[in-house]
Amino acid sequence: MPPPDDRKTLQIQMFTFKNGRGLGQMLFELASLYGISKQIGRVPVITRYAGIWDTVSNSVSQYFPVFGAFFEQVDLDPSFLFSVNLNIRYCCKFENPKNLESLIQQHVLINGVYFQSFKYFEDYKSEIRVALTPPPESAIRAELLIPEDFRKDLMICVHTKQLVFRDSGLSSPSDPIFTRAATDFLVNKYKSEERRVTVTVLGNDVIWAQNLFHDKIGKSNYFSKFNDTDSIFSKDSPDYT
C-alpha cells in the first residue's frame, strides 16, 4: 500500500475557465497558480470536480503539453479545501501571496479572479516561457495567420481593453497616455536599420485603437479577426518601421 500523500497543495477558483474567457487569460491564471505555488512551497493542482480538468486539457494542455504537465489533477471534494481570499476584487492588481505561507492546512483554495499581474510568477518567467513553446505544427499554423509582409518583422503586441458590462468593477480601461507612451518607448528601443518593427494592437475596441495610433497606421494597414479579438497591424510609419 502506498504511503499517504501528505504534500500541501494549492488550487485557485479557475475563474477564467469557468467563465469562458480567452486562451491568453487562461494561461495567465495558470501561470499565476504555478508561481504562487512555488513561492509558498505547495503543489499546484487542478481538480477534476465540475469538469475543470477537462476544460484545462481541451483548452491548454493539448496545445502546450509541457506547460500542462506543471499541474497535477486531483479528486478532492470541496469540503476538504481551506478557502482564502486573494486578488478577489480586481483583475490586474498584485497581492503578496507570501501572506499564505504560514497556512498549515494541507489543501488550500484561493478565491480570486484573473490574477493578471506578472508579479505572481516573475521569478519563474523563463521556465514558463520555455514550457509555452508550442509544438512545431502549431507554430507553423500560427505564423500563417500573420500577413506575409510582416512575418520577418519584430512584432510588438499591445493588448488594450475598454470596459464591457460583464467586467464591471473588476478592471479599469487601458490608459491611452500610458499605452501610447509605452508603445513608443518599446519601438524606439528595438528598431534599427536592420530590423523593422511592426506594432500589433489587440483589443475589444478597434475605433479606440485607431484613434490612439491614428498617426502610425499607414495606407497598407491590415485589419483582421484573430482569436475573436480585433487587431490592427500598423505599417508604413516613419517611427514604427
Evaluate whether residue 26 is within a structural domain. yes
Q: Please, are residues 34 and 132 in contact by the beta-carbon 8 Å criterion?
A: no
Query: Is residue 1 assigned to a domain?
Result: no
Name the band, by pLDDT with cuts 50, 70 and 90, for residue 81. very high
Same domain for 84 and 162, yes or no, is no
Judge if 80 and 119 occupy the same domain.
yes
Q: Are residues 14 and 124 in the same domain?
A: yes
Tell me if 108 is assigned to some domain: yes
Q: What is the pLDDT of residue 227?
A: 43
**Same domain, residue pair 32 and 72:** yes
**Which of 12-21, 95-104, 132-141, 146-155 tops mean pLDDT?**
95-104
pLDDT at 170 over 90: no
Q: What is the pLDDT of residue 228?
A: 44
Confidence of residue 43 (pLDDT cuts 50, 70, 90): very high
Give me the pLDDT at residue 130, please.
96
Q: In this structure, are 13 and 129 located in the same domain? A: yes
92 & 37 share domain: yes
Mean pLDDT calculated for residue range 101-115: 93
pTM above 0.75, yes or no: yes
* Alpha carbon distances (Å) from 47 to 20, 78, 236: 17, 9, 49
The predicted-structure confidence for 219-239, as pLDDT tens digits, reads as follows 444 444 444 444 555 544 445
When pLDDT is cut at 50, 70 and 90, the band that residue 168 belongs to is low
Query: Are residues 128 and 79 part of one domain?
Result: yes
The pLDDT of residue 128 is above 60: yes
Q: What's the CA gap between 39 and 33, in Å, rounded?
A: 10
Q: Could you tell me if residue 172 is inside a domain?
A: yes
Q: Could you tell me the pLDDT band of residue 218, with boundaries at 50, 70 and 90?
A: low
Q: Is residue 2 part of a domain?
A: no
The answer, yes or no, to whether residue 65 has pLDDT greater than 70, is: yes
Q: Judge if 130 and 16 occupy the same domain.
A: yes
Total domain count, the chain: 2
Which residue in the block uniquely carries the three cell numbers 500542462? Answer: 68
Nearest to 55 by CA among 19, 94, 103: 19
pLDDT band at residue 174 using 50, 70 and 90 as cut-offs: confident
| pLDDT value for 39 | 96
Q: Are 224 and 191 in contact (CB under 8 A)?
A: no
Same domain, 13 and 103: yes
SS (H, E, C) the chain: CCCCCCCCEEEECCHHHHCCCCHHHHHHHHHHHHHHHHHHCCEEEEECHHHHHHHHHHHHHCCCHHHHCCCEEECCCHHHCEEEECCCCCCCCCCCHHHHCCCCCCEEEEECCCCCCHHHCHHHHHHHHHHCCCCHHHHHHHHHCCCHHHCCCEEEEEECCCCCHHHCCCCCCCCHHHHHHHHHHHHHHHCCCCCCEEEEEEECCHHHHHHHCCCCCCCCCEEEEECCEEEEEECCCCCCC
Task: Give the CA distances from residue 169 to residues 86, 89, 197, in Å, rounded to whole numbers and listed in that order.
Answer: 16, 8, 35
Cell for 170? 473588476
User: What is the C-alpha to C-alpha distance for residues 170 and 183, in angstroms, rounded to an integer?
Assistant: 24
Where does a domain end: 134, 168, 192?
A: 134
Question: Are both 85 and 31 inside the same structural domain?
Answer: yes
Residues 109 and 188 in one domain: no
Q: Look at residue 218 and tell me if it is in a domain.
A: yes
Final residue of a structural domain among 134, 163, 189: 134
Boundary (domain end) residue, out of 134, 154, 169: 134
Does 240 map to a domain?
Answer: no
Query: Which of the two residues, 200 and 108, has the higher pLDDT score?
Result: 108
Q: What is the mean pLDDT of the chain?
A: 84
Mean pLDDT of 54-83: 91
Domain that residue 162 falls in: 145-234
Considering the domain boundaries, does residue 239 fall inside one? Answer: no
For residues 45 and 111, membership in a common domain is answered with yes
